Structure 1
Amino acid sequence: MTPDGIALRHSTVIDEVWSTLIEVYADVRADQLHLPHYSVERFGEQLARHASDPGWEVVIGYDTAEPVGFAYVNTLTPDDRWWRRMATPLPGGCAERSTVAVKEIMLRKPWRGQGIARLIHDELLRGRSEAQVSLLVNGDGKVKALYESWGYEPISTQQPSVDGPVLTAMLWLTRPASRSAD
């Protein structure tokens, strides 16, 4: 248990956590599920694809038995489509450094504003060996500002799907490049 009373559970096996991730997603996106890009079916397709990528891992936060949120990642290669979809040139050497991508961070409303998203994020990245972390965020609002307060910096934009929004790509160096084992 964490000091906040939130239990954090890791998994690398999608079948063990599938229904929990779908349940949390449907709750968090309830007001957008009618949009094709945010449908549960689309999220399920995306989740299956991400879970089959190298280095996939999830951390789910629980308040007693209630799942409150999750974050999941996978590792990126230098030629990953993640990098190829960027709208502007990347900072020098960015795609060549070992990178983990945070593909989703979801937190149910009753648990927001308590530092739980950061707790899940940090737990997920704690044992990772990659030199940097990348993520995508929709818009320039509160969530982007939150990630900036965690140390992420905008590096480009991309539109991963034709019917989806343009997202800001952000990067956080977990270790200085001179200490990277690449």
Structure 2
Amino acid sequence: MSVELRHHTALSPVVRRDLLDVYAEVRAPLLHLANYGLAAFTERLGLHAAGPGFELVLGYDGGRAVGYAYGNTVEARDPYWKRMAEPLSEDGPRAPVLALREIGVRPAWRGTGTARRVHDALLAGRGEERVVLMVNPLAGDGKVLRLYEGWGYRAFNAQAASAHSPRLTVMVRPTR
């Protein structure tokens, strides 16, 4: 599969629609849950897109959006760090870091390397030294966590569970 990667630092109506279409298919089994519903995602997306250093990479196959990854810069005093279950240790990530907020690939493109290509394209031009993400350690029976470990991420903290989200594993790796 030949996937064209497009970088965006703002969300035009067309880009937003393409992203929402992919998200809805990727998260279809979870859309009934408050934290994964389209309204909640759209609200988070707006906040993230307005944040510093926002960047989105959309992958297209034949003009159809098939995968995405996006994130933004997180500074030392960002509320992001207050979500950690444990205080940051001395060997924790140093801000600014790239917070990888979302990544997803339509089911038909899974296992093709598309997710890794979209991920790597997002990291390629970044100035931050490290990238941080949060993952449900039970997603795909642990398959997603193991995938990130295979990409060089290591667990260093957790996000406490909330009414709308399970306890998430926080992972970090160098951007390059």
Q: TM-score, normalised by structure 1?
A: 0.89
In 2, the alpha carbon distance for the partners of 1:81 and 1:93 equals 19
In 2, the alpha carbon distance for the partners of 1:128 and 1:88 equals 27
Classify the secondary structure of the residue corresponding to 1:38. coil
Does residue 150 in structure 1 map to residue 151 in structure 2? yes
Structure 2, unaligned runs of 5 or more: none
Given the alignment, which residue of 44, 53, 62 partners 2:51?
53
Given the alignment, which residue of 118, 121, 132 partners 1:120?
118
In 1, the alpha carbon distance for the partners of 2:112 and 2:134 equals 22
Runs of 4+ in 1 over 4 A off after TM superposition: none
Tell me the amino acid that sits aligned with residue 11 of structure 1: H
Further displaced range: 157-166 or 8-17: 157-166
Residue 19 of structure 1 corresponds to which residue in structure 2?
17
Classify the secondary structure of the residue corresponding to 1:37. coil
In 2, the alpha carbon distance for the partners of 1:118 and 1:96 equals 24
1:95 to partner: Cα distance:
4.7
Work out whether residues 74 and 95 of structure 2, in 8 Å CA contact, stay in contact via their aligned partners in 1: no
1:160 to partner: Cα distance:
7.2
1:148 to partner: Cα distance:
0.4
1:91 to partner: Cα distance:
3.4
Classify the secondary structure of the residue corresponding to 2:12. helix
**Deviation readout 1:136-176 (Å, 9 max, x if unpaired):** 1012400110000010000111047531111110000236x
Tell me the amino acid that sits aligned with residue 6 of structure 2: R
Tell me the amino acid that sits aligned with residue 149 of structure 2: E
1:29 to partner: Cα distance:
1.1
> What is the RMSD of the two structures over their aligned residues, measured on CA atoms?
1.5
Residue 7 of structure 2 corresponds to which residue in structure 1?
10
Could you say if the C-alpha distance between residues 171 and 12 of structure 1 is closer, same or farther in structure 2, counting changes exceeding 3 Å?
Answer: same
**Deviation readout 1:60-110 (Å, 9 max, x if unpaired):** 001111111100010000011121111113231535343101000011000
Q: How many corresponding residue pairs?
A: 172
Does residue 85 in structure 1 map to residue 83 in structure 2? yes
Residue 109 of structure 2 corresponds to which residue in structure 1?
111
